[in-house]
């Protein structure tokens, strides 16, 4: 079997613990307004690679990746669930730490058997929660957040370690009320091991213009590191309040 891969990044340091081989999968059903990788949306283009070919890439930098492992990102890796499961299964056979960076949008109870097989060979899930409010999530991504939140509940049921990622965008998610709601929601899950709050920035504008695409967020200002730190504090405080 081959996977349809956009690109592979060596020595990644932000997509999971340690130094990692980061595999960008092709295809994504979401259309996030702040997406940095619109070139991964369509399945066309990219390269076909077998799991062995990807693991050969890993072997080249093996001594660096000892503290890290492999991360599947994209795009949305769950679009190629069967290949993703094969890649992670073969990685685990070699003792490699596996991390899935996902929006969780393709989760459904009907596909529980497929998700169970994947979860068995996945050490860590980095789950991107784009917006806690469903109506706002639809505006931001063109999809409901129902499957995303169900996936988080499913992962909690499996006691699978999860890192939550949340991007704060001025006038969209950078809002005390929404951040508090997110904290209240997350407080119920004990498998959440980290919370990464990232400031929105418009660096992808150039990529959109190269792709002849209109940049969806127009002149929305960038969020600052201070905005992200403050937002994280609000989420954490809200989680604590919920627990006391
Ligand atoms: S889920 Fe990720 S790849 Fe897909 S549109 Fe959103 S930001 Fe882009």
Say how many domains are in the chain.
Answer: 1
Give the nearest ligand 1 atom to 31 CA.
5
Would you state the pLDDT for residue 243?
A: 87
Determine the structural domain holding residue 100 and report its residue range: 2-243
At 154, the pLDDT band (50, 70, 90 cuts) reads: very high
Ligand 1 centroid – CA 89 distance (Å): 25
At 49, the pLDDT band (50, 70, 90 cuts) reads: very high
Q: What angle do CA 44, 50, 54 make, to 5 degrees?
A: 100
Three-class SS of residue 163? strand
For 162-167, what is the mean pLDDT? 98
Q: Is the dihedral of CA 24, 29, 33, 38 positive or negative?
A: positive
pTM beyond 0.85: yes
* For ligand 1, mutation pick of 22, 39, 42, 76 (most atoms within 8 Å of CB): 76
CATH number at residue 117: 3.20.20.70
> Taking CB atoms and a 6 Å cutoff, what residues make up the pocket around ligand 1?
28, 30-32, 35, 37, 40, 74-76, 103
* For ligand 1, mutation pick of 22, 34, 40 (most atoms within 8 Å of CB): 40
Q: What is the pLDDT of residues 170-190, one digit of tens each?
A: 999 999 999 999 999 999 999
Question: In sequence order, what DSSP letters do the residues of 86-145 get, joined into one string?
Answer: HHHHHHHHTT--EEEEE--TT--GGGHHHHHHHHHT-SEEEEE---SSHHHHHHHHSS-S
Q: What is the pLDDT of residues 111-140, one digit of tens each?
A: 999 999 999 999 999 999 999 999 999 999
Ligand 1 centroid – CA 78 distance (Å): 12
For atom 6 of ligand 1, which residue has the closest CA?
32
Give the nearest ligand 1 atom to 30 CA.
5
For atom 7 of ligand 1, which residue has the closest CA?
35
């Amino acid at each position: 079997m081959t996977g349809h891969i956009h690109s592979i990044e060596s020595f990644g340091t932000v997509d999971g613990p340690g130094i990692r081989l980061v595999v960008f999968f092709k295809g994504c059903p979401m259309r996030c307004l702040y997406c940095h990788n619109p070139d991964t949306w369509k399945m066309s283009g990219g390269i076909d690679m077998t799991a062995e070919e990807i693991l050969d890439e890993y072997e080249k930098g093996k001594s660096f990746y000892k503290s890290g492992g492999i991360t599947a990102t994209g795009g949305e890796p769950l679009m190629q669930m069967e290949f993703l499961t094969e890649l992670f299964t073969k990685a685990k056979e070699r003792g490699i730490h596996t991390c899935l960076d996902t929006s969780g949008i393709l989760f459904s109870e009907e596909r529980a058997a497929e998700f169970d097989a994947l979860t068995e060979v996945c050490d860590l899930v980095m789950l991107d929660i784009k917006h806690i409010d469903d109506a706002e999530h639809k505006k931001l991504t063109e999809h409901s957040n129902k499957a995303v939140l169900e996936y988080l509940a499913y992962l909690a049921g499996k006691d699978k370690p999860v890192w939550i990622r949340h991007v704060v965008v001025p006038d969209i998610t950078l809002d005390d009320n929404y951040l508090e709601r997110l904290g209240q929601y997350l407080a119920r899950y004990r498998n959440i091991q980290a919370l990464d709050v990232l400031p929105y920035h418009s660096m992808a504008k150039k990529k959109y213009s190269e792709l002849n695409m209109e940049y969806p967020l127009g002149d929305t200002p960038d969020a600052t590191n201070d905005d992200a730190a403050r937002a994280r504090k609000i989420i954490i405080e809200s989680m604590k309040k919920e627990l006391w």
